[in-house]
């Protein structure tokens, strides 16, 4: 199982909305992520910078950010675009983070 981490930027004032939308994540999106090997997905929020820090454990080929051709993912990106910094296709701007230490 591989691990990936990345950060994204949440627009100021949307912390509660971001959390609410993720608590109500669509069942079809959850199923898609699981069916593609994402077994553990955590997102943290840095209150001082509004950066979101995401970590995924993946058994499949792709991270969630590499599934952008799927219509469910595209619909989610469109849904989240008003509260995050996004690219022209509404995918969140993500900055990959390199792992420097891991203790099991």
- The yes-or-no answer on residue 16 being catalytic is no
Residue 86 lies in a domain: yes
Please give the pLDDT value at position 65.
84
Place of tokens 């619909």: 75
Residue 77 lies in a domain: yes
Each residue's pLDDT, cut to its tens digit, for the chain (104 residues) gives 899 999 999 999 999 999 999 999 999 999 999 999 999 999 999 999 999 999 999 998 888 888 999 999 999 999 999 999 999 999 999 999 999 999 98
Residue 20 lies in a domain: yes
95 near 7, Cβ under 8 Å? yes
Query: Which residues span the domain enclosing 53?
Result: 2-97
Residue 15 lies in a domain: yes
In the chain, the number of structural domains is 1
Distance (Å) of CA 45 to CA 36, 51, 64, 83: 25, 6, 18, 14
Q: Could you tell me the CATH number of the domain that includes residue 51?
A: 3.30.70.100
63 near 56, Cβ under 8 Å? yes
Residue 103 lies in a domain: no
Is 101 in a helix, a strand, or coil? coil
Which of 2, 3, 20, 22 is the catalytic position? 22
Is 53 in a helix, a strand, or coil? strand
């Amino acid at each position: 199982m591989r691990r990936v981490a990345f950060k994204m930027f949440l627009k100021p004032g949307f912390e509660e909305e971001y959390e609410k939308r993720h608590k109500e994540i669509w069942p079809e999106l959850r199923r898609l992520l699981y069916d593609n090997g994402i077994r553990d997905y955590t997102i943290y929020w840095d209150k001082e910078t509004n950066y979101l820090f995401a970590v995924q454990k993946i058994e499949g080929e792709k991270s969630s950010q590499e599934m952008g051709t799927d219509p469910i993912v595209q619909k989610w990106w469109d849904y989240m675009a008003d509260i995050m910094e996004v690219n022209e296709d509404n995918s969140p701007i993500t900055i990959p983070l390199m792992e420097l230490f891991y203790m099991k």
